[in-house]
Structure 1
Amino acid sequence: MTIGATIHTFEVELSDVDREVYEQLSLRVARHPSETDAYMVTRVLAYLLEYEEGIAFGAGGVSSTDEPALLVRDLTGQITKWIEVGAPDAARLHHGSKLAGSAAVYTHRDVDQLLGSWAGKTIHRAEGIAVRAFDRRFIDAAADSLERRNTLTCSATEGQLYLVLNGATLETTIDERRLG
């Protein structure tokens, strides 16, 4: 017998000053049994920082081989943005970058180690792929504040991220790098 996904809800107040995105969102996030809290927090933050019309969580999340953690589709259903979370392999990133108009990676892992794992490998339009890393202590603190029902205020400006998650106030700098 397999254990099903755990549903987490997030009532979100989003202010992404740099992109001029101000939204109130209600998210239902399915957490796969093999998914860590840190991965789920990173996935939710990626969703918020990439938020635009047509964004959705990938069909399989951590267990999917066909879709990324997040993707954006236009009105015709065409994938316009491929967003990976964690430490995807180079072949998966290459595939996603070819399929979509743009690609990005959000990680809670060691960004230098991740970039090193891709060195010398073919990744389509690598120079245009943003890799955004969060400090592991920040992600761990956010994961420790998780509940099944969550209230989240997320503000991003000039590379700084400010969260209030279920009363816990957290902040970090987003370490953004480019491939290539």
Structure 2
Amino acid sequence: MALKATIYKVNLNIANMDQHQYQDYQLTMALHPSETIERLMVRLLAFARYATEDLQFTQDLFETSEPALWEKDLTGQMMQWIEVGCPDEDKVKKASPRCQQVAVVSYGGAVDEWFKKSPKLKTLSNVTVWKIAESSTQAAAELCQRTMQLQLNIMDGEWDLIADQGQAHIEWTQLK
């Protein structure tokens, strides 16, 4: 019998003072049995970076042709394609002409080596690559609960994720 995904409910309030955007999101996320809490929280942070009403989590661990998140317009045209981790550069290159914006939100100790070995990513004009500091992903993972009430404050480029049990300072580095 296969293990089932664990469901997480997230009430995410984003207060982005840099862009004067304030929004609440009621999210349901599934944690695949082979996925870590850290990756789940990185998917949540990726959602927060690119948040729109139409941005959706996909079945990326089940469907290798899908990213972690995507946004489609009313006609089904891809607007955003967002990968999490250190994906195969050919998958990102294939997604690039199919949508307006492609993003990779990477994390972990192997990011710098992966990026160095992915020269095709550097040639794609609509691809952005971000790295989240390991200390940030670990601190975010410590905030994880099955039901989360999270406040994300963004001011002067500084990200602070706040929950009842503590907070995590999220450090982003743009690699491309």
Fold shared by both chains (TM-score > 0.5): yes
User: What letter corresponds to residue 136 of structure 1 in structure 2?
Assistant: E
Distance in 2, Cα, partners of 1:79 & 1:6: 28
Could you tell me the TM-score, scaled by structure 1's length?
0.89
1: distance between equivalents of 2:19 and 2:64? 30
Provide the aligned C-alpha RMSD in A. Answer: 1.7
2:146 is the alignment partner of 1:148: yes
CA shift for structure 1 position 124: 8.9
What does residue 73 of structure 1 align with? Answer: 72
Does 88-97 or 128-137 show the bigger shift? 128-137
Q: What SS does structure 2 have at the residue aligned with 1:75?
A: coil
Following the alignment from structure 1 to structure 2, what is the Cα–Cα distance between the partners of residues 23 and 75? 22
Cα shift at 1:169: 1.4
Give yes or no for contact 1:161–1:172 (8 Å, CA) kept in 2. yes
For 2:159 and 2:47, locate their aligned partners in 1 and report how far apart those are by CA, in whole Å: 14
Secondary structure, counterpart of 1:95 in structure 2: helix
Q: Distance in 1 between matches of 2:38 and 2:121?
A: 26
Q: Deviations over 1:12-50 (max 9, x none)?
A: 111123333210111110111111111110001101110
> For 2:30 and 2:24, how far apart are their aligned partners in 1?
20
CA distance in 2, matches of 1:67, 1:177: 23
Q: Separation in 2 of the partners of 1:52 and 1:105?
A: 17
Report how far residue 6 of structure 1 moved.
0.4
Paired position in structure 2 for 1:46:
46
Note closer, same or farther for the CA distance 1:89–1:158 as it changes in structure 2 (3 Å cut): farther
Q: What is the rounded CA distance, in whole Å, between the counterparts of 1:50 and 1:68 in structure 2?
A: 14
Matched, 1:170 2:175: no
Indicate yes or no: 2:96 matched with 1:97.
Answer: yes
Contact 1:159 1:175 in 2 (8 A): no
Inter-partner Cα distance in structure 2 for 1:10 and 1:33: 19
8 Å contact from structure 1 (residues 86, 107) kept in 2 = yes
Asked whether the 8 Å contact 2:100–2:126 carries over to 1, the reply is no
Gaps of 5+ in 1: none
Q: Distance in 2 between matches of 1:124 and 1:102?
A: 14
| Counterpart contact for 1:85–1:105, Cα < 8 Å | yes
Residue 115 (structure 1) shift? 1.0
TM-score of the pair, normalised by structure 2: 0.91
Structure 1 residue 123: deviation in Å?
4.5
**Structure 1 residue runs of 4 or more that deviate by more than 6 Å after TM superposition:** none
Q: Deviations over 1:52-94 (max 9, x none)?
A: 1321011x13232121000011121211111000110111111
8 Å CA contact retained: 1:97, 1:125: no
2: CA distance, partners of 1:157 / 1:76:
35
Whether the aligned pair in 2 keeps the contact of 1:98 and 1:124 (CA below 8 Å) is no
For residues 87-130 of structure 1, what are the alpha-carbon distances to aligned partners after superposition, in whole Å with 9 as ceiling and x for unaligned? 101111111112111100111124322211202xx349624321
Q: Distance in 1 between matches of 2:159 and 2:30?
A: 24
Distance 2:77 2:18 in 1: 26
Q: Count residues in correspondence.
A: 175
